[in-house]
Chains A and B, each alone.
Chain A
């Protein structure tokens, strides 16, 4: 078990800047999920940590030991690849024991460890199969098993679930979570799927364009996104963004643009005074739009027209148009709305996110 430190990591492919001075500290026993859109540099970070790519500048430390020039084998890490990379000509058992065999472990020790990790992952019956005789989920488990036998300091997962279908992905997600509880080791997990990030992570690191946008607990990242990118990337359905100005009327502050005027209570934006008259972006998650007549803030309710309703089973996505402003709300299934009908709603003021229009940084606390 070990901590990992990235210090001012820069990675360039020729002139392409992939990582631009990334600093990140991963503590012992921590499950860190690096999430971001494709091309944001998250996989590169993992490959740098694994030693599969060379660092352009900066340092990586594992357990306080600088590993920049260590080959992958010496870093005591294990990696699970997106395409599993199981050796196709070896049985499950051979796949799992390959690393130990190369390190000249005694035979009974290899046997013991393979058995141990096979029982953790319920692979006992598959040990003599070839990879091509396994289903996607089983291959994934073997790939994880191959990592566990090594008893590495750090586990690296490179989008391990992206090749599985949706149902299997859910199962494996739970399995990985259970595995983490059992092994309690340092895990760095890369994904582009924010659901995996939210459910698995002890800490989420959101990346974009070679920079870390925000790093914090899943709840932090969800409730207090530090900028517009994080706010838009985390959460499903995507947050509504409204561009407008802060206005002051009779001691009260409002957010307004041509279409809507939204009351901003002081507790949701204590420093509102400072931004009076300035351009801001207001973000509100679809779940934080209140449609229930009993809970609506009737003094400041907004009315619009329903455009489209998408039934998802237990919920409905309701696309509302207020003037030229489109707003997505999530409501209970089988509501009585129908396209074109009038709808009245208000915002859950506790969960309003306000960003500076130019820097796109969060300005309410």
Chain B
């Protein structure tokens, strides 16, 4: 009982701590925005806030000349921003956006910049103690970027093999996601009863945490006790001729790890596409189909000439997102093959990156590797959206 109360207190204490810190930050910004025109602002703020900053730095053990100078520069920047740019008008939006902005700064921008920093230096297992003790690591320029392409990240596969595997993985997954999603969405949109129930059931794999879903499915692919092999064995028992044409239990995880991962990820990804495409289908006015019926279109002609072109606007963003997510999908590959004794046969770029960083401990190399993956994905997204925009403006101008 005491434990529970203590845990609750901890939670509330943590929430209160966050609230208080946000409050302090807001108060700090507010005082600058509100009293920007007072002559004393420069004097008071520099004095009082510098004193407070020194105090906090001392408590946090961050006290150093460098940090102090940074803070002074920040203070001057803030005073000038509030004097010249904001001028006491409409400063509420800035106050409201500030906590989120700080969060982004801490969680996105800082790691990104740090990664760029790492990628030009050499941090690995042999230099990490030096970094800890002296605070410096050797600068190596572009060496890490060159090694990305020349030194394999894993024991078995180099960059280009991994890239090819990743592209294959992405393409096959997206293809079956869209195909499966489209078929299911068509069936659902034709369904007159129980549509809500089916839709809910379909969304279950999507709504489940991927870790749970993947680990559960991984069990089903077990060579001896997995559902799939059990079913194959039962089928052979009932229809012995199946064995004669070569059907038999498969060692999924050891013989076909990539195929297994793809099967699992296809199953995981279909619901998302189904929901998106179903939304698209339901937004198509029924009168187009009436008009097409009268024009003499068969069911498949209607699909080709009406449905597909009209769901393209919803499909394209979904495919772009899906491409990025699949390209970047470490969960499935790592959870299926990444544990001890696992294979490297199924690794794609991101899972290789993870292993390079946290199994082989080559931090700077992985940072450069991550930058390369980031650039590839960035280009894919840009070209997708370009393609998309051009199509749209074409139509607008024609």
With a cutoff of 8 Å between Cβ atoms, the chain B residues found around residue A79 in the complex are 290-291, 294
Q: A85 with B287: in contact, given A91-B398, A128-B398, A130-B398 (CB under 8 Å)?
A: yes
B-binding segment of A31-39, A97-105, A275-283 = A97-105
Is there an interface contact between B296 and A85, defined as CB atoms closer than 8 Å?
no
In this complex, which of B290, B297, B305, B398 has the most chain A Cβ atoms within 10 angstroms of its Cβ?
B290
Contacting residues, chain A, for B291 (C-beta < 8 A): 79, 81, 85, 87, 146
Chain A residues, Cβ within 8 Å of B309: 89
With both chains docked as a complex, state the minimum distance between the C-beta of B90 and any C-beta of chain A, in angstroms.
Answer: 38
> Interface with B: A70-78, A184-192, A197-205, A257-265, which one?
A70-78
Q: Which residues on A sit within 8 Å (CB–CB) of B288?
A: 85, 87
Chain A positions within 8 Å of B319 at CB level: none
Number of interface residues of A (CB under 8 A): 27
Please tell me if the beta carbons of B305 and A87 are within 8 angstroms of each other in the complex: yes
- Check A318 for interface membership: any CB of B closer than 8 A: no
B46 at the interface (CB under 8 A from A): no
B164 to chain A, nearest CB (A): 35
Q: Is the interface of B mostly helix, strand, loop or mixed?
A: helix
Is B295 part of the binding interface, using a Cβ–Cβ cutoff of 8 Å? yes
When chains A and B are docked, how far (Å) is the Cα of A103 from the Cα of B301?
A: 12
Shortest beta-carbon distance, A351 to chain B, in Å? Answer: 42
Considering only residues 301-322 of chain B, those with a C-beta below 8 Å from chain A are 301, 305-306, 309-310
* A143 to B: closest C-beta gap in Å: 9
**Could you tell me the distance between the alpha carbons of A102 and B301 in the complex, rounded to whole angstroms?**
8
User: Is B395 at the interface (CB under 8 A from chain A)?
Assistant: yes
Interface of chain B residues 202 through 249 with chain A (CB within 8 A): none
Q: What B residues does A81 contact at CB under 8 A?
A: 287, 290-291
B127 within 8 A of A: no
Neighbouring B residues of A116 by C-beta, 8 Å: none
Query: Is A183 at the interface (CB under 8 A from chain B)?
Result: no
> Counting CB contacts under 8 A, is A51 at the interface?
yes
Interface size on B, residues (CB 8 A): 19
B339 contacts partner chain A, Cβ-Cβ < 8 Å: no
Q: In angstroms, how far is the closest chain A Cβ from the Cβ of B285?
A: 7
User: A313 at the A/B interface (Cβ < 8 Å)?
Assistant: no
Chain B positions within 8 Å of A47 at CB level: 290
Distance to closest chain B CB from A118 (angstroms): 17
CA distance A210 to B133 in the complex (A): 92
- Whether the Cβ atoms of B294 and A78 lie closer than 8 Å is yes
Taking CB atoms, residues of chain A closer than 8 Å to B287 are: 81-83, 85
Q: Mark B118-141, 1 if CB is under 8 A from A, else 0.
A: 000000000000000000000000
**Is B81 among interface residues, defined by CB-CB distance under 8 A?**
no
Q: Is A1 an interface residue (CB 8 A)?
A: no
Asked if residues B295 and A99 are in contact (CB atoms below 8 Å), the reply is yes
Closest to A91 in B: B398
Inside 8 A of A73's CB, which chain B residues have their CB? 293-297
Also in contact, A102 and B290, with CB within 8 A (given A89-B309, A128-B398): no
Is A88 in the interface zone, CB < 8 Å from B? yes
Bound complex: CA A87 to CA B290 (Å): 11
Closest A residue to B288 by CB, please name it. A85
Q: Out of B290, B305, B310, which one reaches A85, CB within 8 Å?
A: B290
Which residues of chain B come closer than 8 Å to A17, judged between CB atoms?
Answer: none
Q: Is A65 an interface residue (CB 8 A)?
A: no
Q: Which 10 A-B pairs have the closest CB atoms?
A: A73-B296, A99-B295, A85-B287, A85-B291, A89-B309, A72-B293, A72-B294, A102-B296, A79-B294, A81-B287
A-B contact pairs, 9 of them (CB 8 A): A72-B294, A73-B297, A85-B290, A85-B291, A87-B306, A102-B295, A102-B301, A128-B398, A146-B295
